[in-house]
């Protein structure tokens, strides 16, 4: 008399079913087979498991590349608000480079993407007007850097409605202002920011398409 076969537990049945699914062969098209033959590669039977692993590796590679690009090369930012009017308009999309600030230094007059102390990773777009060691002052609704009046941005929105006593930036302090100086939350209210908080250089408006344009550096003393 043959020994009676014991039934599998539910967990064992699930594992058996998963193995069967994972190792299920996938049919290869004639085109795929021909392509492998031309490359002189061995024709191996694809399975559901190998296909899933291939997709996971492809997606992981894409994610890593995207992170590298965003961290070291460039990123697209959107304008949220009107603090840079009329240089930049609300909802425009900006192409911003990062590598030049990783390998070099920002320049006075650049439009930059930056963070503010105590505001986490929230990004702001402003114009860099003061560098370490500069003396910055706002009087008679005009900006003065190192005692020299700086021309208003070409597309400035409203003039500043405040005064600011002269003060000198420390070794790692940078001063940023919105081009809409009468309506901007910037260094005149939150103070200077450190170099580490300047993360990208605004290069081009890329959206909407009918507004594509370069965003220029502006650092022009007023002619005497």
Give the C-alpha separation, 43 to 117, whole Å: 58
Note whether 106 and 19 are same-domain residues: no
Using one digit for the tens of pLDDT, what is the confidence trace for 84-100? 999 999 999 999 999 99
Task: Kindly state whether residues 91 and 194 are assigned to the same domain.
Answer: yes
Read off the pLDDT of residues 193-211 as tens digits, 9 standing for 90 and up.
999 999 999 999 999 999 9
Q: Which single residue is written with the structure tokens 């502006």?
A: 218
Taking each helix axis from N to C end, the angle separating 48-68 and 10-22, rounded to the nearest 10 degrees, works out to 70
Write down the pLDDT at residue 101.
94
Q: What pLDDT sits at residue 59?
A: 82
3-12, 57-66, 215-224: which has the minimum mean pLDDT? 3-12
Tens digits of per-residue pLDDT, 155-197?
999 999 999 999 999 999 999 999 999 999 999 999 999 999 9
- Burial label for 93, CB within 10 Å (0-12, 13-18, 19+), is middle
Same domain, 104 and 191: yes
**Would you say residue 221 lies in a domain?**
no
Residue 37 has a pLDDT of 66
Q: Catalytic residue positions?
A: 83, 126
Higher pLDDT residue, 47 or 45?
Answer: 47
Q: Quick one: 81 and 189 in the same domain?
A: yes
154 and 58 part of one domain: no
The answer to whether 218 and 152 have CB atoms below 8 angstroms apart is no
136: CATH? 2.10.109.10
Domain span including residue 33: 11-71
pLDDT over 70 at 128, yes or no? yes
Are 66 and 155 part of one and the same domain?
no
Whether the ω angle into residue 208 lies within 30 degrees of 0, i.e. cis, is yes
């Amino acid at each position: 008399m043959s020994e009676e076969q014991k039934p599998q537990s539910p967990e064992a049945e699930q594992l058996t079913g998963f193995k069967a699914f994972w190792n299920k062969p996938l049919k290869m098209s004639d085109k795929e087979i021909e392509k492998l033959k031309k490359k002189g590669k061995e024709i191996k039977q694809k399975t559901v498991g190998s296909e899933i692993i291939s997709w996971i590796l492809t997606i992981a590679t894409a994610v890593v590349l995207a992170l590298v690009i965003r961290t070291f090369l460039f990123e697209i930012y959107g304008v949220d608000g009107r603090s840079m009017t009329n240089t930049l308009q609300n909802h425009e999309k900006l192409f911003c480079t990062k590598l030049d600030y990783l390998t070099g230094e920002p320049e006075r007059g650049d439009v930059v993407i930056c963070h503010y102390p105590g505001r986490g990773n929230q990004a702001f777009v402003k114009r860099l007007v003061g560098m370490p060691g500069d003396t910055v002052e706002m009087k008679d609704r005009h900006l003065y850097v190192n005692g020299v009046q700086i021309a208003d941005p070409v597309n400035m929105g409203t003039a500043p409605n405040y005064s600011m006593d002269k003060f000198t930036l420390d070794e790692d302090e940078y001063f940023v202002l919105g081009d809409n100086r009468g309506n901007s939350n910037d260094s005149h209210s939150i103070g200077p920011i450190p170099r580490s908080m300047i993360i990208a250089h605004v290069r081009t408006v890329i959206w909407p398409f009918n507004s594509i344009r370069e965003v220029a550096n502006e650092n022009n003393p007023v002619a005497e």
